[in-house]
Amino acid sequence: MDELDTALLRMLQNDARRTNRDMAAELKIAPSTCLERIRGLRDRGVISGYHAAVDLKAIDRSTQAIISIKLRPQAMAVATAFQAYVMDLPQTLDMFMVSGGSDFLAHVAVKDTEALRDLVLALAKRQEIADIRSSVVFEHHRRTTIMPLTS
């Protein structure tokens, strides 16, 4: 990653709909150079995709929570199947396999606290869950631009 790659990465993360011509003009490079550098970022796996950001409130999912889950037995097959199950739930935004007191943290978004209660109770009925706890998210801030760390 050089300065040009870093600049392109920043531009695309801030607005993935920017045109190649616009970015090339801002960086004072040829459009063909810009296109080739972006293609290289994709080919190397630096850019893994493009998406549209969604306002959860606008789709009636304003209540977010982190659900902490401990499984039993602690076997990879159990964990893999459980992770697939939770990722298939429409309420799930993100899923993390973690160390420490929990095995998983699930970031969910639902309509309200009643819907959150119903989700937690439904999950708690599963045999493989040894412990489940939820924490309501009062505020959520996501970094939209992620750059390489310099040493």
Residues of the chain with CATH 3.30.70.920: 56-137
Domain 3-43 in this protein, CATH class: mainly alpha
Contacts of residue 134, defined as CB under 8 A and 6 or more positions apart, other chains included, come to 65, 66, 67, 68, 116, 120
The pLDDT score that the predictor gives to residue 148 is: 87
Residue 53 has what DSSP assignment?
A: -
The dihedrals phi and psi of 107, each to the nearest 5 degrees, come to -95, 120
Q: Is 86 helix (H, G, I), strand (E, B) or coil?
A: helix
Quote the pTM value: 0.85
Q: Please, what CATH class does the domain formed by 56-137 belong to?
A: alpha beta
User: Tell me, what's the pLDDT at 90?
Assistant: 97
Helix 3-14 vs helix 31-43: crossing angle, to nearest 10: 80
pLDDT string in tens for the chain (151-residue length): 899 999 999 999 999 999 999 999 999 999 999 999 999 999 999 999 988 889 999 999 999 999 999 999 989 999 999 999 999 999 999 999 999 999 999 999 999 999 999 999 999 999 999 999 999 999 999 888 888 887 6
For the chain, give every residue range classified as CATH 1.10.10.10: 3-43
